[in-house]
């Protein structure tokens, strides 16, 4: 055993014997006794203005899932300027950066990069320049905040007791980008992953989260109900798929109202109908589509089963045929997003230290889906909501609105929380697990 290994074991044994932190304030600025003032650093113009500029550039040039080539190039340019190493491409357009020793332990921070296929209707200087595409969910802000955290952490790299893994992820909006990141094998040695999402109706400077289920599992379905078309004045010579679809939609809602435990929240929504093109013609077929959601895998799969049964059964009652597509290949099911209980306690401690105890709120689960759930199936993960609202200034539209707007004053809070959560978690891991020789980051 080398001298340094003996020294490391001696330090760990001494820390247990005398009940003192392994890394004292003199050796690391990231211990619980010396909370770094990351929020002050993130609010400094050299960091804040830098993040705002990044966010606006991304907002002007929105890209959909797996098409984030310019966004990815901008991220890599900023990482190069900071002297941060990275892997690219990962999951088509993804970028995985590394800050710290390059050795275990590893902790990850995630930001999604993709925009939505929407036309921006908000008029402002940095409006989307791409027709039909818009950052209407705040992913441009997520990227800017993670780069802000990277800038802060790089300046304190010598104090990191391990490696922070920066995950710039493509295709969160239905493309399962998180799953492709995992399949690439770049997070195999990571001990935990943290993520955030901006929210329009939480006050600026506050965060909200919970232990356990926070977002629902969700999937999509499309069904084609086929009958026999004909003249609307002679319905007896036709088999009317529109009537069948009407019964299908009502019966799908009855699954929720009459089959589901009221305390087990679930949703089925038919969001599109396509069929017919004339006032006096019964069409041959009608197509419907929608989404279904639940907070447990068991409930989710049972709901999926009943959706298929109801559609085919109600179509048969009306003498129609039905085919149901759940898009297993194109749009795989998002599992429920479930926050790790231990990480919840840790998040509460860090967030209260940084923001103040009164700024850290609980919340009820939400029916929205989040592909961060894929990470949580593979390793301990935690996601929280970051507030942007200043009621005295304006009410912000909700996400996925063509008028969605980011309050850029929220950027320092997200960057500081990212940096604090990662740096302190590495210290926490060091205190719990002896340091041994490990793999370098390029073997992740």
Taking each continuous run of H as one helix and of E as one strand, the counts in the chain are 11, 16
Order of strands, edge to edge, in the sheet holding 106-112?
A: 85-90, 94-100, 163-169, 106-112, 190-203, 381-389, 207-208, 360-361
At 20 the three-state DSSP class reads: coil
Q: Which helix H or strand E contains 21, and what residues bound it?
A: none
d(CA 423, CA 421): 6
- Nearest C-alpha neighbor of 113 from the set 84, 86, 133: 133
As a whole number of angstroms, the longest Cα–Cα distance in the chain is: 94
Q: What share of the chain is helix, strand, coil (3-state, %, to 5)?
A: 40, 25, 35
At 142 the three-state DSSP class reads: helix
At 7 the three-state DSSP class reads: helix
Q: What pLDDT is attached to residue 36? A: 58
Q: Is it true that 23-215+336-443 and 217-325 share their CATH fold?
A: no
Q: What is the pLDDT along the chain (444 residues), one digit of tens a residue?
A: 444 444 444 334 444 333 333 333 434 556 544 455 899 999 999 999 999 999 999 999 999 999 999 999 999 999 999 999 999 999 999 999 999 999 999 999 999 999 999 999 999 999 999 999 999 999 999 999 999 999 999 999 999 999 999 999 999 998 999 999 999 999 999 999 999 999 999 999 999 999 999 999 999 999 999 999 999 999 999 999 999 999 999 999 999 999 999 999 999 999 999 999 999 999 999 999 999 999 998 999 999 999 999 999 999 999 999 999 999 887 778 999 999 999 999 999 999 999 999 999 999 999 999 999 999 999 999 999 999 999 999 999 999 999 999 999 999 999 999 999 999 999 999 888 655 544 444 455
pTM of full prediction above 0.85: yes
| Strands 217-226 and 285-294, bridge-based pairing | antiparallel
Q: Answer whether the bond into residue 390 is a cis peptide, omega within 30°.
A: no
Q: What pLDDT is attached to residue 333? A: 86
Contact criterion met (CB below 8 Å) for 353 and 163: no
Q: What pLDDT is attached to residue 7? A: 40
At 97 the three-state DSSP class reads: strand
| Chain position carrying tokens 């060091």 | 430
Contact criterion met (CB below 8 Å) for 337 and 376: yes
Q: Where are the domains positioned within the chain?
A: 23-215+336-443, 217-325
Q: In CATH, what is the architecture of 217-325?
A: 2-Layer Sandwich (3.30)
Contact criterion met (CB below 8 Å) for 283 and 229: yes
Contact criterion met (CB below 8 Å) for 293 and 367: yes
CA 318 to chain centre: 42
Fold of 23-215+336-443: Aminopeptidase (3.40.630)
At 247 the three-state DSSP class reads: helix
d(CA 150, CA 156): 10
Q: What pLDDT is attached to residue 108? A: 98
| Strands 207-208 and 217-226, bridge-based pairing | unpaired
d(CA 411, CA 52): 8
d(CA 96, CA 136): 24
Contact criterion met (CB below 8 Å) for 396 and 388: yes
């Amino acid at each position: 055993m080398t001298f340094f290994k003996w020294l490391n074991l001696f330090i760990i044994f001494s820390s247990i014997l005398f009940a003192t932190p392994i890394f004292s304030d003199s050796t690391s600025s990231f211990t619980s006794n010396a909370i770094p003032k990351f929020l002050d650093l993130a609010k400094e113009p050299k960091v804040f203005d830098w993040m705002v500029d990044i966010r606006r550039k991304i907002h002007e040039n929105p890209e959909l899932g797996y098409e984030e080539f310019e966004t990815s190039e901008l991220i890599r340019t900023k990482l190069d300027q900071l002297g941060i190493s990275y892997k690219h491409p990962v999951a088509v357009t993804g970028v995985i950066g590394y800050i710290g020793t390059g050795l275990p332990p590893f902790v990850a921070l995630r930001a999604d990069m993709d925009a939505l296929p929407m036309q921006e209707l908000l008029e402002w200087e940095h409006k989307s320049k791409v027709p039909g595409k818009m950052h209407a969910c705040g992913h441009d802000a997520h990227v800017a905040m993670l780069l802000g955290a990277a800038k802060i952490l790089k300046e304190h790299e010598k104090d990191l007791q391990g490696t922070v893994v920066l995950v710039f992820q493509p295709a969160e909006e239905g493309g399962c980008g998180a799953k492709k990141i995992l399949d690439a094998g770049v997070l195999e040695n990571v001990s935990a992953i943290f993520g955030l999402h901006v929210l329009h109706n939480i006050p600026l400077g506050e965060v909200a989260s919970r232990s356990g289920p926070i977002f629902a599992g969700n999937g999509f379905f499309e069904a084609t109900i086929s009958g026999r078309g004909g003249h609307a004045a002679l319905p007896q010579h036709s088999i009317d798929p529109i009537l069948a679809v009407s019964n299908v939609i009502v019966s799908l809602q009855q699954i929720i109202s009459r089959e589901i435990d009221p305390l087990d929240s679930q949703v089925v929504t038919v969001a599109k109908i396509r069929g017919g093109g004339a006032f006096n013609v019964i069409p041959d077929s009608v197509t419907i589509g929608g989404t279904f959601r639940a907070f447990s895998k068991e409930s989710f799969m049972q709901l999926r089963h009943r959706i298929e049964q109801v559609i085919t059964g109600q179509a048969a009652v009306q003498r129609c045929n039905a085919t149901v597509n759940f898009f297993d290949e194109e749009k795989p099911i998002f599992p429920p997003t479930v926050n790790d209980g231990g990480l919840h306690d840790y998040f509460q401690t860090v967030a209260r230290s940084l923001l103040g105890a009164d700024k850290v709120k609980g919340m009820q689960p939400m029916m929205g889906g989040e592909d961060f759930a894929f990470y949580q199936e593979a390793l301990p993960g935690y996601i929280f909501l970051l507030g942007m609202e200043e009621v005295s200034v304006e009410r912000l539209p909700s996400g996925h609105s063509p008028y969605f707007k980011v309050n850029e004053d929220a950027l320092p809070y997200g960057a500081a929380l990212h940096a604090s959560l990662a740096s302190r978690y590495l210290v926490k891991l060091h205190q719990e697990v002896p340091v041994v020789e490990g793999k370098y980051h390029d073997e992740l």
